[in-house]
Structure 1
Amino acid sequence: MNIRTDLAHSAVKAAGSGPGTSMGAVLDTAKAQDWVALDLAVRRLWDLPSTDWLGAGNPAPNEPSLAVALCHPDGRIRQAALASPGSAALLPLVAVRCADWVAPVREQARAVLRGTLPEATPEVLGATAAVILRVAERRHGGFARELLEEVLRDGEIADTLLGSQDRAARRLGHRIAVERGRLSPADLARIAAKDHDIVVQDLCADAALARTRDGGEHGEIVRLLLGARQARVRAAGLTALNRTGDTGRATAFLADRSGLVRACARWVLRQHGVDPLPHYRSLCASRDVPPGAAAGLAECGSAADAGLLRPLLAHPIPAVRARAVWALRTVDAIEPDRLTPLLDDPSAAVVREASLALTPTATRIPEEWLRQRLAADRPRCVRTAAFRLLDAHGTAAQLRCFLTLLDDADPGLRARARAALHSWGPADAPTVYATLPPTERAHVDALLDRAQASLGKEPLHRLRWYLGAPR
């Protein structure tokens, strides 16, 4: 458990800085995790000074001093802090105390929260809501959450959470706003199209479509959804086209970059008796083929369509080449001789797709040709593809590949090689090593000698013993 002792020490230090010091000097008051971390850190602070944090007989304590008292390990001090008039200014910590393990403290905190939360400023409400939702899963955390939802449903106060930086608070704010009809269908569609949270996207997209009917407004909502960058939102807009039977607009998304959107577009067409396959074939045969066309053809076509896909392997656009390789693999029409040259393609996406497609037939590619692509001067994507294919090549090729990369300059390949060797143990490894030609066995022995610095003495000893190699 990561205890933020820095927050506790900052609060203790700020407590003695004078009556005007605020909690902004200690933590980011908008972050729920800082408030919760402060509570935990103060309770775990073993050298907490025995100070009169509430300033009995003196002027009211400053916010950091009261915050330390609200988090103090002694329940009597926490309860006394809640009775202080300044506790209402520290509502996030009051919310934490509503789930306190000491019943009197818990009840006192709930009374304070019940009386002050409805009147809180938007900034304080946002921070407090985020804290309440963070501690809601604790044993006694349900009360504060129920109170928060009750307050948010009363008036326009829930709108303050729509722009919150806290994900849980934003989700709650949008859910309540949708339930209470605070947002118009157009507003909901715009939020769905622009928001980065998939939960908010789904919530607002579904609500926007549910509150519109076929007609002009429905068309505007669908237009906003179809123009979204997020695939889930575009898919929601496409399914809405099923109401109007607008197969023309759905056809435009058959070659979308997202498989989910392509599937929704095909569903709309089929619901209205239109077969998408001829359209895909036409797209793949055209001069300006979109990248998603090959993938879409594979998703609803068969190996009989490989003739339309193979010419796309030489297309000038890398995304088209990569999708064509994926499509050929999907329809089980891989021809290794055609794909092997793509391991040197300038596009990393094409190289990756080619290596994945060639993995089942890796033994048909000469090992030496692949080993040349492990050279340090090759692009990283080419080296990674060669590693993948040598790993699938056979026992001897695996061993040589892993040992070669043990001290490689690339940290990713080096880590993969070490991890592979630590768990390496094919059943035929001793036999393969014993039957290697003398020159190849000498090469493996030299690699084993070099491996001790990287692999370690004991792992290397076990590997030599397993292979029956000289130790």
Structure 2
Amino acid sequence: MPSYLARLDTWRPAAWTDLDENVRGAIRQGMLRPPADPHDRAGRGGGLGALFHRGPSEAELVHALCGPDGRIREAALGQAADRPALLPLVAIRATDWAAPVRERALAVLAAALPSADAGTLAATAPVILRIRGRLRGAEGAALLEEWLRTTTPDVLTALFTHRDRTTRRLALRIGVERSLFTPRELARTASADPDPAVRDTAADAAAAADAPEETLGLLLTARTGRVRAAGVTALRRAGRHAEAEPYLYDRSGTVRACARWVLRQDGVDPLALYRAACAEPVTMPDRAPLGLAECGERAVDLPVLWALTGHPRPLARSSAVAGLRAFEVTDLPRLLALLDDPAPGVVREAARTLSPWVHRLPERELLGRTGPDRLPHVRIRALRLLRDHGSWAYEETARRLAEDPDPVVRYRTHLALGR
């Protein structure tokens, strides 16, 4: 890496846009000597015209490319064509306000992209994508996309491993358009990639393919609900509707909705399955009550949910309470009683269910639950409800709990106070 750029994180697109702005600002403030007029052949103004004849140093060329004088920026682009390390700055000049600078930069960029090595491309593509939202940034982005649609697959593969997520998203999208990834590769990406947008694109593409068994398996066992949902939807295309039934009880609402849709396409009523499951509390999947509320009937299914708030398993109880919220239950005394549950998850769902009606809750009920005789998670949820209530007692109660002997209560109270 040339010495001038040695301190620059060239893989980070913001580093290049910051460099452009900082150099121009430094010249305007007199902190850097401005480059001279390139038409000053005799070099009377500092000699950039003469400098271009002998070949500028990297630092001189950076100053010329980023300087405030458009004629100097335009002249510098001719020298930058032979400096691959500065191609990101050429990309920035492709959004220049001065039309001659912009047109020349686009011409240099179009000529340089096909021959750029992996390192140059890895530095330049993220810059182009970062500035495409500028007033004149669309042309450079279109140029990049057009070239990526015809370049060799290894270029897209290299960009797909880039740490810049916008670059990776573009590489994946164009790779999918060009059918460069196998269904299995897409499924593995959807299952493991840290970027949600990449996972979604890969999952949709994998599900749209005539995926083999192992591909469907990767989608259906993914950690992310959106990816599992794509796998469940693909079960219909594969003619395996019945295999969607276990996903009626998935932890993701999107997956549950997709499972219901797939089963309905096969003539199966998911509501009947939910009701049958909830009628057998011992063998009932823990999230069956929530699924029941999502597609059930209030008059028929609400009593079932109330009964399941006493289920021995905490997750089943919290699912039932969440189902009550889906039915917009307003029986405040019964909901308040759920705040005393020994399971934090149940109390969390009860507090969320009470939240829309917090101004109708008696303050004494909430204050009583902040006392030292209550479980820590009950005290914290009651404090938050007091805050949302706008209670006069909130500040005083929060100060008291901030000094509580229980470390969990102290920590959560400090978070609630923004400390």
User: How much does 1:296 deviate?
Assistant: 0.5
Cα separation, 2, equivalents of 1:58 and 1:88: 19
Bigger mean CA deviation after superposition, 303-312 or 221-230 = 303-312
Cα separation, 2, equivalents of 1:392 and 1:100: 50
In the superposition, relative to structure 1, how do residues 69 and 48 fare at CA in structure 2: closer, same or farther (>3 Å)? farther
**Cross-structure match for 2:64:** 69
Cα separation, 2, equivalents of 1:376 and 1:99: 63
**1:299 is matched by which residue type in structure 2?**
E
1:49 to 9, 12, 32: 32
User: How much does 1:239 deviate?
Assistant: 1.7
**Cross-structure match for 1:133:** 129
- Describe the SS at the equivalent of 1:254: helix
Alignment pair present for 1:233 and 2:227: yes
**Cross-structure match for 2:78:** 83
CA contact (8 A) 1:245 1:272 kept: no
User: How much does 1:348 deviate?
Assistant: 3.5
Alignment pair present for 1:325 and 2:324: no
Alignment pair present for 1:163 and 2:161: yes
1:274 to 268, 272, 277: 268
1:289 to 262, 284, 301: 284
Bigger mean CA deviation after superposition, 103-112 or 130-139 = 103-112
User: How much does 1:308 deviate?
Assistant: 3.6
Cα separation, 1, equivalents of 2:74 and 2:359: 73
**Cross-structure match for 2:6:** 24
1:152 to 128, 137, 148: 148
**Cross-structure match for 1:401:** 393
CA RMSD of aligned residues (A): 3.2
User: How much does 1:173 deviate?
Assistant: 0.8
In the superposition, relative to structure 1, how do residues 103 and 244 fare at CA in structure 2: closer, same or farther (>3 Å)? closer
**1:49 is matched by which residue type in structure 2?**
L
In the superposition, relative to structure 1, how do residues 39 and 363 fare at CA in structure 2: closer, same or farther (>3 Å)? closer
Cα separation, 2, equivalents of 1:229 and 1:314: 30
User: How much does 1:391 deviate?
Assistant: 6.4
1:193 to 178, 191, 194: 191
User: How much does 1:372 deviate?
Assistant: 2.9
**Cross-structure match for 1:181:** 179
User: How much does 1:381 deviate?
Assistant: 4.7
User: How much does 1:59 deviate?
Assistant: 7.6
CA contact (8 A) 2:16 2:89 kept: yes
User: How much does 1:197 deviate?
Assistant: 3.3
**1:48 is matched by which residue type in structure 2?**
M
Bigger mean CA deviation after superposition, 71-80 or 258-267 = 71-80
**Cross-structure match for 1:14:** none
- Describe the SS at the equivalent of 2:248: coil
Alignment pair present for 1:222 and 2:216: yes
Cα separation, 2, equivalents of 1:223 and 1:247: 15
User: How much does 1:82 deviate?
Assistant: 2.0
- Describe the SS at the equivalent of 2:17: helix
Cα separation, 2, equivalents of 1:57 and 1:144: 26
Cα separation, 2, equivalents of 1:113 and 1:333: 62
Q: Deviations over 1:104-128 (max 9, x none)?
A: 3223322321222111122221221
CA contact (8 A) 2:369 2:379 kept: yes
CA contact (8 A) 1:328 1:334 kept: no
Alignment pair present for 1:349 and 2:345: yes
Percent identity, aligned pairs only, is 46
Cα separation, 1, equivalents of 2:51 and 2:58: 15
**2:72 is matched by which residue type in structure 1?**
I
Cα separation, 2, equivalents of 1:90 and 1:144: 16
Q: Deviations over 1:56-97 (max 9, x none)?
A: 389855544432332122223323332225533211111001
CA contact (8 A) 2:293 2:323 kept: yes
Cα separation, 1, equivalents of 2:9 and 2:35: 25
User: How much does 1:271 deviate?
Assistant: 1.4
Cα separation, 1, equivalents of 2:18 and 2:328: 54
In the superposition, relative to structure 1, how do residues 246 and 95 fare at CA in structure 2: closer, same or farther (>3 Å)? same
Cα separation, 2, equivalents of 1:187 and 1:366: 57
- Describe the SS at the equivalent of 2:95: coil
User: How much does 1:311 deviate?
Assistant: 4.4
Cα separation, 1, equivalents of 2:109 and 2:375: 60
CA contact (8 A) 2:249 2:291 kept: yes
**Cross-structure match for 1:118:** 114
**2:137 is matched by which residue type in structure 1?**
G
CA contact (8 A) 2:94 2:105 kept: yes
Cα separation, 2, equivalents of 1:111 and 1:70: 15
**Cross-structure match for 2:244:** 250
In the superposition, relative to structure 1, how do residues 62 and 294 fare at CA in structure 2: closer, same or farther (>3 Å)? farther
User: How much does 1:98 deviate?
Assistant: 1.1
In the superposition, relative to structure 1, how do residues 120 and 362 fare at CA in structure 2: closer, same or farther (>3 Å)? closer
TM-score normalised per structure 2: 0.81
Q: Which runs of 5+ in 1 are unaligned?
A: 1-18, 417-471
What is the aligned residue count? 389
In the superposition, relative to structure 1, how do residues 174 and 406 fare at CA in structure 2: closer, same or farther (>3 Å)? same
User: How much does 1:242 deviate?
Assistant: 1.8
**1:166 is matched by which residue type in structure 2?**
D
Alignment pair present for 1:302 and 2:302: no
CA contact (8 A) 1:301 1:331 kept: no
Bigger mean CA deviation after superposition, 230-239 or 333-342 = 333-342
In the superposition, relative to structure 1, how do residues 87 and 48 fare at CA in structure 2: closer, same or farther (>3 Å)? farther
In the superposition, relative to structure 1, how do residues 211 and 369 fare at CA in structure 2: closer, same or farther (>3 Å)? closer
CA contact (8 A) 2:187 2:218 kept: yes
TM-score normalised per structure 1: 0.73
User: How much does 1:367 deviate?
Assistant: 3.1
Cα separation, 1, equivalents of 2:146 and 2:96: 21
Cα separation, 1, equivalents of 2:35 and 2:54: 12
Cα separation, 2, equivalents of 1:58 and 1:244: 67
**Cross-structure match for 1:260:** 254
**2:23 is matched by which residue type in structure 1?**
V
Cα separation, 2, equivalents of 1:224 and 1:76: 56
